[in-house]
Amino acid sequence: MTPKNETPGTTAKNGNAGNLGFEADLFFAADKLRKNLEPSDYKHVVLGLMFLRHISDAFELLGYERCKTVLR
Looking at per-residue confidence, does 41 or 50 come out higher? 50
* pLDDT range class, residue 24, cuts 50, 70, 90: confident
Q: For residue range 52-64, list pLDDT tens digits in order.
A: 999 999 999 999 8
Lowest mean pLDDT, pick from 18-22, 55-59, 68-72: 18-22
How many structural domains is the chain composed of?
2
Full domain range(s) for residue 19 = 1-36
Same domain, 28 and 58: no
CB atoms within 10 A of CB 24: 19
Same domain, 41 and 31: no
Task: Compute the mean pLDDT over every residue in the chain, rounded to the nearest whole number.
Answer: 77
Supply the pTM of this predicted model.
Answer: 0.45
Share of the chain above pLDDT 90, in %: 22
Same domain, 19 and 41: no
